Structure 1
Amino acid sequence: MSKVPVICVDGPSGAGKGTLSQRLAETLGWHLLDSGALYRIVGHACVLRDISWQDESRVVEVAETLDVRFVPSPAGVSVWLEGEDVTAQIRSQDGSRGASAVAVLAKVRVALLDRQRSMATLPGLVADGRDMGTVVFPNAVLKIFLTASAEARARRRQAQLLEKGESVSLPRLLDSINERDERDTNRSASPLVAAKDAVLIDSSTLTVDAVCDRVLELAADKGLIARSPN
């Protein structure tokens, strides 16, 4: 794992980690780890099997036996569970609630740890999540902590849902984001916190291009990639 370059992108829900990470992976030709999707898949699989998100032992069994694939597509990365495309289901509000519920279970996080680390293969990995730089890849050379105001994140989420035909009020989304921030930062298992050596980037008023360019500059400074001649 130490010989494979890894860029960690951590931060709260809605900060733009997924969009940034996918852009970086495409630009660099590296692999992409969407750790949040793994937790969403676990939560969704529990619903399909009528397993309570609070039943830790059974949720761990689900996490250990996941038949999951990440498949690149023109619209982004699609997620397949047991041969079925479940991308839409896990990206829904219910998918978000399921991910948050199972992510607080310490044994579930342990069950998914080796699976995540095994994805660090050449030519490199962009790891998107909440504990990539603190737990999963603590020795990564470049760690980004991407954040944004709760209001900016709520507006972005509302726009995403409207594109999917889902109508959710901005105040309701803001409450949901604040509640999730509270759970993520105060959970006992891998709480959301910036690694001590992470670079903090506030994306509240920045475009995806601007954030991506900044991270690529940092990657070049760290010697992970060649510096652009421009």
Structure 2
Amino acid sequence: MSSARPDIVVAIDGPSGSGKSSTSRGVASRLGLRYLDTGAQFRAVTHWMLSHDVDLADPDAIAARAAEPQLQSGTDPLQPTITVDGEDVSVAIRGEAVTAAVSPVSAVPEVRARLLDLQRRIIGDGGIVVEGRDIGSVVAPDADVKVYLTADAAARAARRAAEEGGSDLAATQASLASRDQIDSGRATAPLVLADGAVHLDSTYLSLDEVIDKIVSLVP
């Protein structure tokens, strides 16, 4: 394991299926840093909304309850955890219902504002790798290292389908394309290449190669 400055902040953004989570955990573990999956936080809020029968077609209904769920994110890259109101939801947030609903919930400004405050408090004085879709552009624009991680559509769909136990490839690719459109087109904190970010295409790279490239960027 290498080491990094104790106050370093590494921001890794990119679309679904680009390899952000495995890469971010690997970089954090290699450098002895904490790790934060902001996507899991949005999924956790979505899970809470579904569990409380909030109408997810109504942004005002989501906004009205955005402050209620109590989230706790564990930052160990080898065993990241997330709880809502004290309940471990690490498995539940990866289900189909949450996956289908997370984009509209994430687009609600009140949800983003609530989680932005939480994310910045967790980042604190640094020593962390943070992954998401607006880390380098909104959450931590002064991050020491910013990476925008992508892969071509076919590779992303194949990776996501494999993660989901052999899901239908064409359906997975269509789902990712829909998610991309929502994430890139939303008015609040859209998915963009942040100023100063290194664009890294992982299509033809192994996980270790991607981790090596990012670690080499860390001062």
**TM-score normalised by L of structure 2:** 0.90
Residue 162 of structure 2: aligned partner: 159
Residue 72 of structure 2: aligned partner: 69
What's the secondary structure of 1:87's corresponding residue?
A: coil
Residue 23 of structure 1: aligned partner: 26
Judged with a 3 Å threshold, the aligned counterparts in structure 2 of structure 1 residues 7 and 73 are, in CA distance, closer, same or farther, namely closer
1:79 shift after superposition? 2.1
2:110 to 102, 107, 112: 107
Aligned partners of 2:197, 2:65: CA distance in 1, in Å? Answer: 32
Aligned partners of 1:218, 1:86: CA distance in 2, in Å? Answer: 33
Aligned partners of 1:28, 1:58: CA distance in 2, in Å? Answer: 42
Matched, 1:178 2:181: no
Aligned partners of 2:183, 2:44: CA distance in 1, in Å? Answer: 18
Aligned partners of 1:73, 1:127: CA distance in 2, in Å? Answer: 12
1:148 to 134, 148, 151: 151
Matched, 1:139 2:138: no
1:147-185 deviation per Cα after TM superposition (whole angstroms, max 9, x unaligned): 0011101101111111xxxx5210100100111111111
Gap regions ≥5 residues in structure 2: 1-5
What's the secondary structure of 2:25's corresponding residue?
A: helix
Aligned partners of 2:64, 2:25: CA distance in 1, in Å? Answer: 29
Aligned partners of 2:53, 2:115: CA distance in 1, in Å? Answer: 21
Residue 218 of structure 1: aligned partner: 217
What's the secondary structure of 1:197's corresponding residue?
A: coil
What's the secondary structure of 2:208's corresponding residue?
A: helix
Instruction: Check whether the contact 1:150–1:174 (CA below 8 A) recurs between aligned residues.
Output: yes
Aligned partners of 1:58, 1:174: CA distance in 2, in Å? Answer: 30
Residue 35 of structure 1: aligned partner: 38
What's the secondary structure of 2:83's corresponding residue?
A: strand
Identity %: 36
Instruction: Check whether the contact 1:11–1:146 (CA below 8 A) recurs between aligned residues.
Output: yes
Gap regions ≥5 residues in structure 1: 224-230
1:73 shift after superposition? 7.7
Aligned partners of 1:188, 1:73: CA distance in 2, in Å? Answer: 32
1:125 to 92, 108, 128: 128
Instruction: Check whether the contact 1:56–1:108 (CA below 8 A) recurs between aligned residues.
Output: no
Instruction: Check whether the contact 1:63–1:112 (CA below 8 A) recurs between aligned residues.
Output: no
What's the secondary structure of 1:69's corresponding residue?
A: strand
1:75 shift after superposition? 7.1
Instruction: Check whether the contact 1:36–1:99 (CA below 8 A) recurs between aligned residues.
Output: no
**TM-score normalised by L of structure 1:** 0.86
Which structure 1 residue ranges, 4+ long, deviate > 6 Å from structure 2?
Answer: 72-75
Judged with a 3 Å threshold, the aligned counterparts in structure 2 of structure 1 residues 122 and 138 are, in CA distance, closer, same or farther, namely closer
Deviates more, 1:169-178 or 1:87-96: 87-96
Deviates more, 1:200-209 or 1:22-31: 22-31
1:57 shift after superposition? 4.0
Aligned partners of 1:37, 1:60: CA distance in 2, in Å? Answer: 19
